[in-house]
Amino acid sequence: MREPISIWFFSGVLFLIYGVIITAQGIWELSHPPAHPTVLFSLHASIWWGGLMAIGGLIYTIHFRPHRKQ
Amino acid sequence: MIHPTTLLAAFDGSPVKAQLVHLNAVDIAVIAIYFAIVIYIGFYLKGSTNTSEEFFMAGREMTAWIAGLSFVSANLGSLELMGWAGSAYQYGILATHWYWIGAIPAMLFLGIVMMPFYYISRTHSVPGYLNLRFGEGTRGLSAICFAFMTVLMSGINMYSMAIVMKVVLGWDLNFSIWVSSITVALYVALGGLRSAIFNEVLQFLLIWLGALLIPILGLIECGGWNNLKTQIAHRMGTTDYMHLWSTTAHFRDNPMGIHWTGIVFGLGMVISFGYWTTDFLVVQRVLSANNLRSARMAPIIGAGFKMLVPFIVILPGLLALSVLPFHLVPQDVAVVTGQHSYNEVLPLMLVRYCGPGLLGLGVTALIAGFMSGMAGNVSAFATVWTYDIYGAFLNKKASDSHYVAMGRWCTFIGVLISVGTAYLVQHAASIMDYVQALFSFFIAPLFGTVILGMLWKRATKAGGFWGLLAGTGTAIGLWAWVRHDPGALRYVALSVDAKAMAEDMYRALWSWLVCVIVTIVVSYMTQPRPETELEGLVYGATKIPEEHDDHWYQKPIVWAGVIAATFIVLNIIFW
């Protein structure tokens, strides 16, 4: 039997998925720059912001994953 | 605490112009994933919401962090964010008052002074506390006002969301209303308050992650805070936009037309204390805490985060003053010219810096804000209806499972009434003004009743009832007076230079004062309850359980002191 899933686990999963999607989009844009880039596009915010979300999400997902009850 | 009508006016009735945001497949995927997660959470939590305590109070199992984030998140709706970002563009840093003095002292007061009485009395709701303290008359009055205003507010929130989605994304009104209402009804009816709280925590994190890039990239574009100040002063021809207090010595010295007395006494002492300490929508989150210490820490944690919110709300408005290549205009001008209005500032800044994926994240944060606002209203409605109206007056002896079933049905019915309100407002926008006004009438006097009930043993049952009624009547009377004769504002706000924002503050102040005076006078004319009956309800008649913290830094009072000191320092820095 497993213990209840924590809200922090749900948050971690959501942000891990979002982080992966946004980082992948940012990397794709390196080779396919948009026709109308956003202001400060050169900073590639998608890559580092998405990356930070993915790392944070991964840490929370692992740390708060539901364990088996003793 | 902002009137959504202020923002909605910016969208409703606008001339047809291109939608602000164009989403691509990645953005749609980000939004769809959010919907999938929240519905899954609802189904997952259904298994752990079988008793009324679990359904209405989340089993009183929430940690201080979850209750605290949910507490602050219940007030962090999308209309708030967009409205106050627009106000920051229009009025400058003065808009920060609604986040700092308009929230922090009241939240700390709730945690340190009031929470023990709410928590020890084991009440399920604020009307429930009033029943224990002042009897069924006061409970009935507050429960009926709260329940109906709350469900109507939910409808307004729903309609607001549909309008904003139409203007920002080009979505059909019916699509937005029905998708959001079905989703909210599902996850609240399944998981109760626990589900609403979980989604509020998610929403809080989403808003930060979705909006935080705007001030970060904005400050990079401006070249830092000092450059931003210089650019705004140059562009606006004055430094008034960057001061919190120094321009409030007279109504005409600042663009808001407010005076520091209104800010301190009206906003800081009455409106904010009324909202943060007696509005059941927010107090319910804290009542779900797993022990008294968590219940006291939750508002303090919430206050810490609330103090940071201007970074993602006010700062984007200020940045827009500097970086946008065009001027935003008031709504009445925007309707004629087709320009962008003040309240579109946040979506405009989002589009400016966020490409595909990040844009979807920002839009998801807005949708999450709207939906959790609706969920908060509906879950609070279900609780007050079931405990304080149905269970108190209509069916006192039903089984626990019957009340849970009633709560689930109430959620669906509440959502349906909300949908009906949304369509009603669509055809008669003035209804929204009345509902907004009605809601504000009740909050300030209610604070007078609750605070006297908690801190003054001599307050009597009759005093509480007649004070609440007289305070509410005063608020309605003042509102009707100014509506009938706009010139009356000079008497209500004590100055010919006062503007609409000042009216709200002074109306709240007078209605609170009348409530307090009537409560005191009537209490002295009537027989008080014996002190033994006030145990657990009133200061001086209650023994507060001692908290045994292992370390000094675990004490709520220490963290309240840290937040209070930071609050004072911030006000001095931005004086």
**Residue B339 phi, psi (nearest 5):** -75, 175
Q: Hey, are the CB atoms on A7 and B361 less than 8 Å from each other?
A: no
ipTM tops the 0.90 cut: yes
B143-164: pLDDT as tens digits: 988 887 887 788 887 887 787 7
Angle at B439 between CA B433 and CA B440, to 5 degrees: 90
Q: Hey, are the CB atoms on A25 and B209 less than 8 Å from each other?
A: no
* Residue bearing tokens 């291109």: B18
Q: In chain A, which residue's Cα lies nearest the Cα of B67?
A: A7
User: Which pair of structure tokens corresponds to residue B87?
Assistant: 């106000």
Cα torsion through B139, B152, B512, B391, rounded to 10: 10
Instruction: Label residue B15 by pLDDT band (50, 70, 90).
Output: very low
Pair B300, B559: CB distance under 8 Å: yes
DSSP letters of B226-282? HHHHHHHHHHHS-SGGG-SSTT-SSGGGSTT---HHIIIIIIIIIIHHHHHHH-HHH
Rounded distance between C-alpha atoms, residue B388 and residue B127, angstroms = 7
Rounded distance between C-alpha atoms, residue A50 and residue A25, angstroms = 9
Rounded to the nearest integer, the mean pLDDT of chain B is 85
pLDDT at B412 exceeding the cut of 80: yes
CA atoms within 13 A on the CB side of B446: 28
Rounded distance between C-alpha atoms, residue B253 and residue B248, angstroms = 6
Pair A11, B202: CB distance under 8 Å: yes
Rounded distance between C-alpha atoms, residue B387 and residue B125, angstroms = 8
pLDDT at B3 exceeding the cut of 70: no
Residue B354 Cα, gap to closest chain A Cα (Å): 6
The CATH architecture that domain B25-53+76-573 belongs to is Up-down Bundle (1.20)
The pTM of this model reads: 0.86
Q: In chain A, which residue's Cα lies nearest the Cα of B195?
A: A7
Rounded distance between C-alpha atoms, residue B140 and residue B128, angstroms = 9
A10-52: pLDDT as tens digits: 999 999 999 999 999 999 999 998 888 888 889 999 999 999 9
Rounded distance between C-alpha atoms, residue B469 and residue B441, angstroms = 11
In the A/B pair of chains, how many CB contacts fall below 8 A? 77
- Whose CA is closest to B345, among B361, B323, B365? B323
Check residue B5 and give its pLDDT. Answer: 43
Chain A residues with a Cβ under 8 Å from any Cβ in chain B: 4-5, 7, 10-11, 13-15, 17-18, 21-22, 25-26, 29, 34, 37-41, 43, 45-46, 49-50, 53
pLDDT at B16 exceeding the cut of 50: no
For residue B375, what are the CA distances in angstroms to B98, B410, B572?
23, 12, 37
pLDDT at B431 exceeding the cut of 80: no
Delimit the domains of chain B by residue range: 25-53+76-573
B261-309: pLDDT as tens digits: 888 887 888 888 888 888 888 888 888 888 888 999 999 999 999 999 9
Percent of chain B at pLDDT exceeding 70: 94
Check residue B573 and give its pLDDT. Answer: 92
Rounded distance between C-alpha atoms, residue B370 and residue B79, angstroms = 8
Percent of chain B at pLDDT exceeding 90: 30
Check residue B306 and give its pLDDT. Answer: 93
Average pLDDT over residues B533-540: 84
Q: Hey, are the CB atoms on A39 and B353 less than 8 Å from each other?
A: yes
Instruction: Label residue B9 by pLDDT band (50, 70, 90).
Output: very low
Q: Hey, are the CB atoms on B355 and A18 less than 8 Å from each other?
A: no
* Residue bearing tokens 């209070």: B564
Q: Hey, are the CB atoms on B354 and A13 less than 8 Å from each other?
A: no
User: Which pair of structure tokens corresponds to residue B287?
Assistant: 């009542």
Task: Give the Cβ contact number of residue B226 at 10 Å.
Answer: 9
